[in-house]
Structure 1
């Protein structure tokens, strides 16, 4: 029996409708759906499908009873589970958070992503952390009331870019109510630390894992189109810097699961070593494949690597 359960975060299936995502997930061997939850601006509806614009697989916070029934029917028809609601909540928005707990409950989700402050140096980490504590003090009660675990995500650009930072906040609460969404792909952008160590630090707060990849590369060209004097050196050429007073700018971008800096085969080994046997949710932003092909590739990768590593459910 496979070690991990596989899901898809629908932000990564933008060209598919709710029903089509469920059908593609079933065909690929994906077992759970994490619904992207956000209102789509009217102006975006005429655009081509995209991850964060006209995403046709998004569940709106204002979804009608008819739309929710359709989603539940698509899930049931394909033998899947709605495991999570993944909105873009603002830290401190208790009214909005409670409303989306109710929405998560209505589709049978067991997890919901809640708000985390973005890091703002003009405010400072201390005050931002305090605002997160005030918010989660209330969210923990909602999680108990609705029977749905609240997830705080490790994400670059926030006060929780690493496992250590996420543990510092989550550890104030019950791991039955507040958990951490481990996202190694985000940690390539910011928050990189030894992945196995981070899993050990999180302990019982390790509640979910997102699967994607990213990588860094130096910018070869200057704004005027000429080559940076240190470009060759940045790409590994021997010899001195062309100009030691002109640092090269590096940029991070999304990669396919097998082509980025996250060593996913090792991550599976590490997850097994710490006793994690929960969900792995794909959200590939690399545009390498169509959504159905991306799902099939993801399942093939995880199941093949599980077999190669000898990872089976106990």
Structure 2
């Protein structure tokens, strides 16, 4: 396997810092976040992220993105795009940019739940993806659908229904351990088997469930829950080793399935400083990979 970092999770670093530090730590690649974002006084994962590239004017930045990546000796594990499948103009731009960079694959986001009837969202997204598949094939790249909570594709079952019979060389799926803890979890092996040739990429992060009143939840919520006799839970991002996702079992299932491609880490926990966090994540995953390899060799 090859390991990379999605730069949504490195908000404090400039692109040059992200590439240089990750390369020095031993990462194989980088997955650049590309989106227009809100400004922020303090860099954050979703606003003011210094390691993100704006979609506005992207074409003028492609040479710089390529140069920074190559100078660090990193590969592209893919592009972390945010263009939604029904925004054909931006999807076309992202596909073209991915081809120019030689990055092979780019995420195309799915409609969130809410508003329209799920069946209508699904039918519309299928029509959009038929167009996306044609355009991805024309550019010689692959459009990726992420299994993501609170979207129409929160599970492998939903994703395979959506993309079944589309060309798997043009459309694939990102399986995401952390997202599936929040919504959509299915047995790892069954999910990989369901996806078959559409299993294109893997994202790893971790999550824990926290009772109302614990962690970041407000004390008022705890009082309300106690009065009603109901405990309410919410998710929080957790370090890879301590969340509720079993990372080692995940890698064992990937290995049994024969997956030997990119694993991209997007750790949104904040217990450790960023540079320590990325270094420890790589050591942790490589140790798990080594144990998994020994187990299967035996």
User: Normalized against structure 2, the TM-score is what?
Assistant: 0.92
Q: Report the Cα offset of residue 82 of structure 1.
A: 2.1
Equivalents in 1 of 2:103, 2:64: separation in Å? 15
Q: Report the Cα offset of residue 135 of structure 1.
A: 0.6
Q: Report the Cα offset of residue 66 of structure 1.
A: 5.8
Residues 313 and 150 of structure 1: CA distance in aligned 2, closer, same or farther (over 3 Å): farther
Alignment partner of 1:150 out of 138, 143, 147: 143
User: Normalized against structure 1, the TM-score is what?
Assistant: 0.87
Residues 127 and 69 of structure 1: CA distance in aligned 2, closer, same or farther (over 3 Å): same
Asked if residue 171 in structure 1 is aligned to residue 161 in structure 2, the reply is no
Q: Report the Cα offset of residue 219 of structure 1.
A: 1.1
Residues 307 and 220 of structure 1: CA distance in aligned 2, closer, same or farther (over 3 Å): same
Q: Choose 1 or 2 for highest CA Rg.
A: 1
- Of 299-308 and 7-16, the range deviating more from structure 2: 299-308
**Structure 1: 5+ residue stretches without partners:** 232-242
Partner residue in 2 for 1:5: 2
Q: Which has the higher contact order (CA 8 A, sep 6+)?
A: 1
Aligned-partner SS, 1:310: helix
Partner residue in 1 for 2:69: 75
Aligned-partner SS, 1:34: strand
Equivalents in 2 of 1:18, 1:95: separation in Å? 26
Aligned residue-pair number: 295
CA contact (8 A) 1:92 1:115 kept: no
Partner residue in 1 for 2:128: 135
Residues 311 and 272 of structure 1: CA distance in aligned 2, closer, same or farther (over 3 Å): farther
Aligned-partner SS, 2:53: coil
Alignment partner of 1:307 out of 279, 290, 296: 290
Q: Report the Cα offset of residue 291 of structure 1.
A: 2.8
Q: Residues 267-314 of structure 1, C-alpha deviation per residue, up to 9 Å, x if partnerless?
A: 000001111111110000001233322221121011111222225999
Partner residue in 1 for 2:112: 118
Partner residue in 2 for 1:26: 23
Partner residue in 1 for 2:195: 202
Asked if residue 49 in structure 1 is aligned to residue 43 in structure 2, the reply is yes
Q: Residues 144-175 of structure 1, C-alpha deviation per residue, up to 9 Å, x if partnerless?
A: 01111100000001011111111111223111
Asked if residue 61 in structure 1 is aligned to residue 58 in structure 2, the reply is no
Partner residue in 2 for 1:219: 212
Equivalents in 1 of 2:176, 2:222: separation in Å? 34
Equivalents in 1 of 2:219, 2:198: separation in Å? 48
Residues 305 and 76 of structure 1: CA distance in aligned 2, closer, same or farther (over 3 Å): same
Q: Report the Cα offset of residue 67 of structure 1.
A: 3.4
Q: Report the Cα offset of residue 179 of structure 1.
A: 0.4
Residues 229 and 111 of structure 1: CA distance in aligned 2, closer, same or farther (over 3 Å): closer
Q: Residues 34-93 of structure 1, C-alpha deviation per residue, up to 9 Å, x if partnerless?
A: 11011233xx15x11110000111111234666332221221111111232212112311
**Structure 2: 5+ residue stretches without partners:** none
